[in-house]
Chain A
Amino acid sequence: MLKLIILITIIITINAKEPISPIPLGIDYDEEKALLGKRLFFDVILSKDKSVSCLSCHNVYDGGADSRDVSLGFENREGNIQSPTVLNARYNFAQFWNGRAENLKEQADGPLNNPNEHNMNPTLVEKRVNNSILYKKDFKKVFHINYIKYEYILDAIVEFEKALTTPNSRFDRYLRSEIKLNKDEKKGYKLFKDYGCITCHNGVNVGGNSFQKIGTFIAYNANVKYPDRSQVTHNEMDKNVFKVPTLRNITKTAPYFHDASAKDLKTALHVMAEHNLGIIMKDEDIEHIIKFLESLNGELPTILDED
């Protein structure tokens, strides 16, 4: 009891600020550059057999991720992990499930050159883009260049991705004291904190700012090989460690987890509670938490309405 009082005192007096912060409004990006990036993002010429674009696996109109367990790339080859959302990716502290890219630019370089995905190389990318009169004209306008180098292509895509934020969710508006949460959402948020979900899912992206092991409490499919953090650090302790994913727009990004093992949020919450918190969560609590998670769905990025 007394520990709890001390705990509460600490929480109330010192850390009165909520551990989740709203997505900034009026983000700054170069609109012309971003629109150029948008065209590249949608363009199948960036894959070897012209079958896939970035959009194929990152449906920015609905959650920014892939509803398939693994994405299909060049010649329908299967990816090795569930596609994470590109929405609000600029607020992640590192990119990819295992954080092997420090920023969006390093990330974009990945799938383009991956033989199972776009199966391209920088020279081929340059060649394809430089062949287009339209691209040449626009790149000249934006970058003041005559020859489009690979770097500039990545730069444009990154600018578009920077524009992919989903502000004004109900929860963000609640954080800015513009609206009140309804009873279910409020209860869900409280449970989200009480159970300790918030320990890892916090910050502007409600996640995406730390690495965590899946199965801290009870081991989770430890034998299955996915590109986890240990592939970056070469440290045994980082087995099954992944970037904590963002929970923004989470209701739209099923299936869940790196292995797509949870097909719906309810399952995902059960697994998380059991494996990472060591508790059995009641269905009733899960429903409330899902209500809270729904309140994290934001507005579609405005850049999607522009050409």
Chain B
Amino acid sequence: MQKNFTQKYKEFLININNLENSYADIINLVLKNSVYVYINQDDIALANKTIKINYKNLQNSKILLEDSYSDIKDNINYLNGCIDKDLQNIELFLRVNASIKNSLLFLSRHIEDSKILQKNDQDELLKARIILKRFNDTKRLQDLAYLNDKDYLLYTNSTDKDVINYIKAFNLHSTFLIKNYPIFINITKKIIQNKAIHQRIHIIKKEFTEVSLHDFKALDKFATILFTLFFFSFLTIIILLIKYQKENMKLQYSYTYDQLTNLYNRRKFELDIENNNKFDKPFLIIININDFRYINDIYGNDTGNILLKDFSKFIGEKIKIFNEKSIVYRLGGDEFGIIFENIIKDRVVDITNKLEQIITSNNFTINSVNIDLNVNISINNVKPILENADLALKQAKRSSISNICVFDEKQHLKQNVQENMQMVKTIKDALAEDRIIPFFQPIVNLQTSKIEKYEALVRLRLKNGEILPPFKFLEIAQKSSQYHNITKVMIEKTIQTARKYPQYRFSINFSMQDILDKKITTTLFELLDENKDTDAKIDIELLESEQLDDMQIVKLFIDKVHTYGSYILVDDFGTGYSNFSYFSELAIDIVKIDGSIVKEIVTSKRKFHMLKSIKEFANGMDMKTVSEFVESRDIALKLKSIGATYAQGYYFSQPLEQPLDDANVTI
């Protein structure tokens, strides 16, 4: 009898352990199915069957026929409902998972195949990448919060059928994903976080141990032996548990570590950041490799991958030099984050500067190809730490002055970003609908009381007719791909106007950066070449700026402009970065005296003397002057009395949509 009991007892324990293990199996497979793209689903179909068989075996365990085990039997029957529900959830999971995988696959492929868009719309392509990234992040992190941005559709003004179809296909799939993600995430969470079955099994085991222990005691003679047996069974459970723990650890690894570089991945980073106690006063720096995309395009993905590995290793080694507590993460394809703890800002900035130098001066050699890297780095310790660091990184990318940007709350970067995005769209629309227009402000010859020239000033007319001045949109346009188009429109329209009003000269504004931009200067000269009848009437106004790296290019530009018979004007002289040394090097024809001086010549002696000396300097250099911001008759008369050549300002006229037919003015 004792032997019989031991056998039944063992049978039950084996059955319930089998069930528990097969359940762990299927959860493991669900995870695999959600992570891997291509997977053989035979395994999960088999696991499904195994659970059912194991449950049936448990239900049929001989020991349950005994009266004392009837409670346990009830519990087991109850378990049936939980299992059925879970298996149904898994069936649904597999269905949604398949569609979502396919759409994600489609979008990745679609973006890769974006030749159509690349030509036409770099911004939308970027957006497409961001949208896909968001979808991927959401799936990886199983958190719908990553989809909070409602902007997941692409737009185009293009009439090109290919572009329209391309965008349509993208939107079709992103709409599909938006609709199905909530179902997918919820069902996945429901399956993975469902503890009901484990808990129920745990309860059954506990009750079983209690009841059977009681039975063991009754079997006094064999109690010790049987208890030993029980102990061994318990041991097997532990061994099995350890086995599955290992499996899960492996999976956990892929959730915590980046497969390529073996650094911690973004998921881990986010977990660490969420865990408030994890870091003591953390500083985050993000390092982004410039133009990594091109490295992939030029050298191939294999090389790109090796580079990322080498780079990770390099950073890991170099960061040790500074002897600060730090952790390195791979946050995205070409983005690396380093968290420093307990450190002052100056020290982080110092480390970052040195790190940038170390990186840029290092020669990465991959398959005997030398690759030099440039990086942008942002520094931040203001919460939300990643988002703000991201904003600062964008700032660093935009800036032509420094590759490093420290996040500063005062910059209101976040708000800027949204407004800027809106503005980019406004600019694009305006370009498409021909609402970028020049206004013309007359420049009067004070000695003859005649308008001789007009300055063309860019304006954007909104759909409602409102006119936007350049400071509202030009800076943003400069950072987007639209700037070049605006410049082009301005030149074209000014040329047209010059043809209509042959009695006047016209000047167009160019910044120093424009001159360094080959695309813009090429456009200018092409347009001048195409319009030989007006080319000598178009002058160029140079806006001074802080930095003028390549004097040689500016010189060449000015020489070329002169060959058309055009003049060079220098704007805003007498303020900001005015630099007399320009004049020794550059053949400038006209100097525009800054309004901050002109405005006050009647009221301030000092300003008046400044103006006079600029004028004399100009005379000596054989240059003419234009006084800007002439806002009253007094100023105009005073200028005339000292023999100043030109004046411009509201006293004569504000900028006009069309030049005046009559050149005469009264002073």
Measured CB to CB, the residues of A under 8 A from B are 1-11, 13-15, 17, 19-21, 91, 93, 102, 193-196, 198-200, 202-204, 209-213, 216-217, 233, 235, 237, 241, 276-279
**Which chain A residue shows the least CB distance to B91?**
A211
Contact of B105 with A196 in the complex, beta carbons under 8 Å: yes
Closest CB-CB distance, B270 to chain A, in whole Å? 17
Chain A residue, CB-CB nearest to B112? A4
**Among B34-42, B434-442, B469-477, B499-507, the stretch in contact with A:** B34-42
A7 CA / B173 CA spacing, docked (Å):
19
Are A279 and B333 CB-contacts (below 8 A) given A93-B49, A209-B42, A217-B176?
no
Determine the distance from Cα of A278 to Cα of B172 in the docked complex, in whole angstroms: 8
Asked if B101 and A196 make an inter-chain contact with CB atoms under 8 angstroms apart, the answer reads: yes
CB distance from A1 to the nearest CB of B (A): 6
Among B92-100, B205-213, B397-405, B589-597, the stretch in contact with A: B92-100
Within the complex, the shortest CB–CB distance from A281 to chain B, in Å, comes to 12
Interface residues as binary, B37-54 with A (CB distance below 8 Å gives 1, 0 otherwise): 111111011101100100
Near A by CB (< 8 A), chain B positions 326-342 give 332-334
B296 x A211 contact (CB < 8 A): no
**Is the beta-carbon distance between A6 and B333 smaller than 8 angstroms?**
yes
Q: Are B293 and A278 in contact (CB under 8 A)?
A: no
Q: What would be 15 A-B contacts, judged by CB atoms less than 8 Å apart?
A: A2-B292, A2-B296, A5-B296, A5-B333, A7-B37, A11-B37, A15-B37, A21-B40, A93-B45, A194-B105, A202-B39, A202-B41, A203-B41, A210-B45, A277-B106
- Known contacts A5-B301, A195-B102; 12 further A-B pairs (Cβ under 8 A): A1-B129, A3-B108, A10-B36, A15-B38, A17-B40, A93-B49, A199-B101, A202-B38, A210-B44, A212-B95, A278-B102, A278-B173
Across the interface, which residues of A come within 8 angstroms of B252, CB to CB?
none
A27 to B143 alpha-carbon distance, docked (Å): 46
B259 at interface (Cβ–Cβ under 8 A)? yes
- Pairs A-B, 4 closest by C-beta atoms: A2-B333, A196-B102, A93-B45, A203-B42
List residues of chain A with CB within 8 A of the CB of B136.
3
Contact of A279 among B38, B44, B106, B293 (CB under 8 A): B106
Cβ of B80 under 8 Å from chain A: no
B482 within 8 A of A: no
CB atoms of A217 and B304 under 8 A apart: no
User: Which residues of the partner chain B approach A198 to less than 8 Å between Cβ atoms?
Assistant: 38
Q: Which of B35, B99, B334 contacts A2 (CB 8 A)?
A: B334
Q: Which of B38, B48, B169 counts the most chain A CB atoms within 10 A?
A: B38
Tell me, rounded to whole Å, the shortest Cβ–Cβ distance linking A21 to chain B.
6
Nearest chain B CB to A65 CB, angstrom units: 22
Q: Is the CB of B40 within 8 A of A7?
A: no
Minimum distance in angstroms from A247 CB to a CB of chain B = 14
Task: Indicate if the CB atoms of B95 and A210 lie closer than 8 Å.
Answer: yes
Whether A1 pairs with B37 at a CB distance below 8 angstroms is no
- Decide: B259 and A13 in contact? CB cutoff 8 A: yes
The yes or no answer to B249 lying at the interface (CB within 8 A) is no
B254-273 CB contacts (< 8 Å) to partner A: 254, 259-260
Find chain B residues with CB under 8 A from A209 CB. Answer: 41-42, 44-45
How far, in whole Å, are A212 and B97 apart by their CA atoms in the complex?
10
Nearest A-chain residue to B292, judged by Cβ:
A2
Interface residues of B in 415-454 (CB under 8 A from A): none
Please give, as numbers and ranges, the residues of chain A lying within 8 Å of B105 by CB-CB distance: 194, 196, 199
The smallest C-beta distance from B94 to any residue of chain A, in angstroms, reads: 5
A139 to chain B, nearest CB (A): 28
State whether the Cβ of B522 lies closer than 8 Å to any Cβ in chain A. no
Instruction: Take A5-B301, A278-B176 as given contacts and tell me if A212 and B98 are in contact as well, using a CB distance cutoff of 8 Å.
Output: yes
Within the complex, which residue of A5, A10, A237 is in contact with B37, where a contact is CB–CB below 8 Å?
A10
Contact A1 B305 (CB under 8 A): no
Q: How far is the CB of A67 from chain B (nearest CB, A)?
A: 29
Distance A235 CA – B108 CA, assembled complex (angstroms)? 33
B293 to chain A, nearest CB (A): 6
Task: Summarize A's interface: helix, strand, loop or mixed.
Answer: mixed
Interface size class of B (residues with CB under 8 A): 35 or more
Task: Tell me the smallest distance from the CB of B89 to a CB of chain A, in Å.
Answer: 11
**Alpha-carbon gap, A192 to B418, bound state (A):** 41
Is the CB–CB distance between A211 and B95 below 8 Å? Answer: yes
Of A17, A199, A209, A217, which is in contact with the most chain B CB atoms at under 10 Å from its CB? A199
Say whether A237 contacts B42, CB under 8 Å.
no
A2 surroundings in chain B (CB, below 8 A) = 292, 296, 332-334
Residue pair A199, B98 in contact (C-beta under 8 Å): yes
**Interchain CA distance A108-B237 in the complex, whole Å:** 40
Q: Is B394 among interface residues, defined by CB-CB distance under 8 A?
A: no
Q: Separation in Å of the A232 CB from the closest CB of chain B?
A: 11
Q: Are the CB atoms of B108 and A19 closer together than 8 Å?
A: no
- Whether A237 lies near B98 (C-beta < 8 A) is no
Please, what's the 1-or-0 string for B10-44, where 1 marks a CB less than 8 Å from any CB in chain A?
00000000000000000000000001111111101
A209 to B94 alpha-carbon distance, docked (Å): 10
Which of A3, A8, A278 interacts with B103 by CB under 8 Å? Answer: A278
Closest partner residue, chain B, to A13 (CB atom): B259
A235 CB contact (under 8 Å) in B88, B129, B301:
B88
Which chain B residues in 281-295 approach chain A with CB under 8 Å? 292-293
Nearest-neighbour CB distance to chain A for B112, whole angstroms, equals 6
Q: A201 to chain B: closest CB distance in Å?
A: 10
Whether B41 and A210, one on each chain, are in contact in the complex, defined by CB atoms closer than 8 angstroms, is yes
**B 101-135 binary contact with A (CB < 8 Å = 1; else 0):** 11101101101100000000000000001001100
| Chain B residue at minimum C-beta to C-beta distance from A17 | B40
Q: Which residues of B contact A1 (CB under 8 A)?
A: 111-112, 129, 293, 296, 333
User: Would you call B305 and A9 a contact (CB within 8 A)?
Assistant: yes
Q: Which A residues lie within 8 Å of B39 (CB)?
A: 15, 19, 202
Contact of B169 among A13, A237, A279 (CB under 8 A): A279
Residue of B nearest to A200 (CB): B98
Report the bound CA distance from A139 to B133 in whole Å: 64
| Docked pose: A91 CA to B132 CA in angstroms | 37
CA distance A93 to B111 in the complex (A): 36
Which residue of chain A has its CB nearest to the CB of B97? A199
CB distance from B79 to the nearest CB of A (A): 19
User: Nearest-CB distance from A188 to chain B (Å)?
Assistant: 16
Q: Which residues of A contact B304 (CB under 8 A)?
A: 5
Interface bits B196-215 vs A (CB < 8 Å: 1, else 0): 00000000000000000000
Tell me which residues across on chain B come within 8 A of A19, comparing CB atoms: 38-40
Q: Point out the residues of chain A lying under 8 angstroms from B94, CB to CB.
A: 210-211
Question: In the complex, what distance in Å separates the CA atom of A4 from the CA atom of B169?
Answer: 19
Rounded to whole angstroms, the CA-CA distance of A41 and B428 in the bound complex is 71
A3-B333, A211-B95, A212-B95 are contacts. A277–B41 as well, Cβ < 8 Å? no
Contacts of A213 in B (CB 8 A): 95
Residues of B within 8 Å of A10, CB to CB, are 35-37, 259
Cβ-neighbour of A193 out of B38, B129, B260, B305 (below 8 A): B38
A286 to B35, CA, bound (A): 28
In chain B, positions 272-318 with a C-beta closer than 8 Å to chain A are 292-293, 296, 301, 304-305
Measured between beta carbons, the chain B residues less than 8 angstroms from A199 are: 37-38, 98, 101-102, 105
With a cutoff of 8 Å between Cβ atoms, the chain A residues found around residue B112 in the complex are: 1, 4
**Is the pair B293, A217 in contact by a Cβ cutoff of 8 Å?**
no
* Residue pair A210, B98 in contact (C-beta under 8 Å): yes
Cβ distance A14 to chain B, nearest Cβ, rounded Å? 7
Contacts of A11 in B (CB 8 A): 36-38
